[in-house]
């Protein structure tokens, strides 16, 4: 079973994916693949250096992701160029992992799943969502001011539309326990033998 996990920036996609991993799924994080494999590839580093100059790097040819993000999120053309460089490579990586173990249960975290029309790769799409104000607070806690957070959110498909397109929604404005209870319920629905069914009265906001 392949689950695609998406949602709004700062809504808790990684937390949800880690909980699925706790339930026995194999987890892939597209952002981690970008950070650890794509941005470290010599051809990608050379392309970035040629396009943005040496200031895009810190020591040892490590890409300064904060500087890179500031450059591309302020310029739509630059963002499109970077996506054209990065996205085919990260797609190849997670697609290869899924194809190497087609019988496995996978939870794949892809922020731009709908934006890149990747739905057909997954049996079910799960959107992780939360209250917009809480979303901004979480992004501020990561070091983004509200203006930058709003700028980055605006580059994605609106959260309301992602909710409409998803097969299931996990609401992550409550406690960690509340999110895990929803995932327990969802896993039991998708794979009845995977986890014990929640006790009667357990909270769940998983939606279809």
The count of domains in the chain is 1
Tens-place pLDDT, residues 154-179: 888 999 999 999 999 999 998 899 99
| 121 located within any domain | yes
| CATH number for the domain harbouring residue 67 | 3.40.50.300
| 155 located within any domain | yes
Residue 183 half-sphere exposure toward CB, CA atoms < 13 A = 26
| 205 located within any domain | no
Q: What is the DSSP letter of 6?
A: E
| 199 located within any domain | no
| 137 located within any domain | yes
Q: Flag whether pLDDT at 208 surpasses 60.
A: no
Q: Burial level of 201, CB count in 10 A (0-12/13-18/19+)?
A: exposed
Q: Residue 21 sits in which domain range?
A: 2-190
Tens-place pLDDT, residues 98-152: 999 989 999 999 999 999 999 999 999 999 999 988 888 888 888 888 888 888 8
| 122 located within any domain | yes
98 and 4 in contact (C-beta within 8 Å)?
no
**Which pLDDT score is estimated for 96?**
93
> 191 pLDDT band (50/70/90 cuts)?
confident
Beta carbons within 8 Å of 149's beta carbon, 6+ residues apart: 9, 10, 135, 136, 139, 140
Beta carbons within 8 Å of 4's beta carbon, 6+ residues apart: 108, 110, 113, 118, 119, 121, 122, 124, 125, 126
| 197 located within any domain | no
């Amino acid at each position: 079973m392949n689950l695609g996990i998406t949602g709004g920036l700062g809504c808790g996609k990684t937390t949800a994916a880690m909980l699925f991993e706790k339930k026995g799924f194999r987890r892939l994080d597209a952002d981690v693949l970008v950070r650890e494999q794509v941005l470290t590839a010599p051809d990608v580093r050379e392309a970035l250096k040629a396009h943005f100059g040496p200031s895009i790097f810190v020591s040892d040819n490590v890409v300064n992701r904060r500087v890179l993000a500031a450059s591309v999120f302020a310029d739509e053309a630059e963002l499109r160029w970077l996506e054209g460089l990065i996205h085919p490579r990260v797609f190849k990586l997670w697609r290869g992992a899924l194809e190497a173990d087609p019988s496995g249960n996978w939870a794949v975290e892809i922020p731009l799943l709908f934006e890149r029309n990747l739905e057909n790769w997954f049996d079910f799409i799960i959107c992780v969502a939360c209250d917009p104000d809480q979303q901004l607070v979480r992004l501020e806690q990561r070091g983004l001011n509200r203006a930058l957070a709003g700028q980055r959110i605006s580059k994605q498909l609106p959260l309301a539309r992602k909710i409409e397109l998803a097969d299931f929604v996990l609401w992550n404005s409550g406690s960690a326990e509340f999110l895990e209870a929803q995932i327990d319920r969802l896993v039991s629905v998708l794979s009845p033998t995977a986890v014990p069914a929640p006790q009667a009265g357990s909270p769940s906001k998983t939606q279809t």
